[in-house]
């Protein structure tokens, strides 16, 4: 499908990203799957290639380009290649906006050069063992004592958790403040009392490190407060639509790639003397998927355009996240079936995608939460 949301400059960037993935990621991804995390070398390579901090000011080593479509292209190409290991989306699409919009000049000088070079890998710690989609249920506390906050609590399911040098931690600074009592603190590698638990053993996405983090009387300098005290929940609500459209668009790109591979397989695979794609049932399944993906692509690209112009609503972002992730899982599941026994072999991309894609209807807000957001927007 022809996509008119990109310029020739975007197309050149996409070609560069594809080359980068072919050279720096694909040859090593199987080993990273076995290791449970990617090498820090790929982060440094991404920094040298200008793939980190695209929207960050050039004086800090960024690209100085405030255009979400560049991040989208990187996310799409990683998804199409089935390279789920590098947690660039967390670092770029999510955390980059927090650092660019909320960090003060001193913080930018301190963090952004390493953030853009890949020397400082970032994570964001929202989810807790007892608080996932309900961010107002956060129990981690940060009590101000002089020029420090004393941080206590635990987080789980944190992407980039093992590798992260900078962790944006969501904590309660005012126990009685409700949603106005939540703040964002940046915890740095090596701070006493900051511990990383096990690298979690997930169903899929094995090359992306996902961790439990604990904070025991961590003295976080007050100078590491990101934005205003008590405004953390508002910042999260403002930035979650960006995270959700990223998850949705990534799921869609991955599903499109698996569909194209399956279409080729159905044209080549012979059964009863003819390609399996010529059986009416298979042809109908392919036709259904092609149509659903085309509809989702038109809706998603429109949402990307709206987001890039600053007009995308929380409800629309929730629609993209819900629709694309659920569709992605349906498409991949049907593609496994069309591959028969081969679809269950990890040497086939469709089998790996079956495991990798399942979480996309969960993280960033579950499908059920997305429907709740949309429903509230309807006034019901």
3-state secondary structure at position 232 = helix
> 30-57 burial, b if ≥16 CB within 10 A, otherwise e?
eebbeebbbbeebbbbbbeebbbbbbbe
Is 243 among the residues known to form the active site? yes
Residue 347 φ then ψ, to 5°:
-70, -15
Q: Which of 77, 128, 229, 243 is catalytic?
A: 243
Q: In angstroms, rounded to a whole number, what is the distance separating the alpha carbons of residues 211 and 158?
A: 5
β-strands 148-159, 210-221 pairing: antiparallel
Residues 6+ apart with CB under 8 A from 286: 262, 263, 266, 277, 338
Tabulate helix, strand, coil % of the chain (nearest 5). 55, 15, 25
Q: Annotated catalytic sites, by residue?
A: 243
């Amino acid at each position: 499908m022809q996509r008119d949301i990109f310029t020739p400059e975007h197309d050149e960037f996409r070609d560069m990203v594809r080359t980068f993935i072919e050279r720096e990621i694909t040859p090593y991804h199987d080993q990273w799957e076995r290791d449970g995390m990617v090498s820090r070398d790929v982060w440094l390579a991404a920094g040298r290639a200008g793939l980190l901090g695209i929207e960050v000011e050039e004086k800090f080593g960024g690209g100085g380009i405030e255009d979400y479509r560049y991040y989208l292209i990187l996310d799409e190409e990683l998804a199409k290649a089935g390279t789920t290991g590098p947690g660039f989306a967390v670092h770029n699409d999510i955390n980059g906006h927090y650092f660019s919009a909320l960090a003060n000049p001193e913080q930018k000088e301190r963090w952004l050069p390493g953030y853009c070079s890949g020397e400082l890998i970032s994570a964001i710690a929202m989810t807790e063992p007892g608080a996932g989609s309900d961010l107002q249920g956060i129990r981690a506390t940060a009590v101000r004592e002089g020029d420090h906050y004393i941080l206590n609590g635990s987080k789980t399911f944190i992407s980039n958790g093992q590798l992260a040098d900078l962790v944006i931690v969501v904590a309660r600074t005012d126990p009685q403040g409700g949603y106005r009592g939540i703040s964002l603190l940046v915890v740095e590698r090596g701070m006493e009392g900051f511990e990383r638990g096990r690298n979690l053993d997930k169903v899929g996405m094995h090359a992306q490190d996902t961790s439990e983090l604990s904070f025991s009387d961590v003295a976080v300098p007050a100078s590491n407060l990101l934005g205003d005290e008590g405004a953390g929940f508002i910042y999260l609500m403002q930035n979650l639509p960006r995270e959700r459209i990223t998850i949705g668009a990534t799921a869609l790109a991955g599903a499109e790639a698996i569909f194209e591979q399956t279409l080729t397989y159905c044209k080549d695979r012979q059964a009863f003397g003819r390609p399996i794609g010529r059986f009416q049932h298979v042809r109908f399944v392919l036709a259904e998927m092609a149509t659903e993906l085309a509809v989702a692509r038109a809706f998603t690209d429109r949402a990307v355009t709206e987001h890039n112009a600053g007009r995308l609503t929380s409800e629309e972002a929730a629609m993209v996240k819900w629709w694309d992730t659920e569709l992605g899982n349906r498409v991949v599941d049907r593609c496994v079936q069309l591959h028969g026994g081969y679809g269950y072999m990890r040497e086939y991309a469709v089998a790996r995608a079956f495991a990798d894609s399942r979480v996309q209807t969960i993280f960033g807000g579950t499908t059920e939460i997305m429907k709740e957001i949309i429903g509230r927007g309807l006034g019901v």
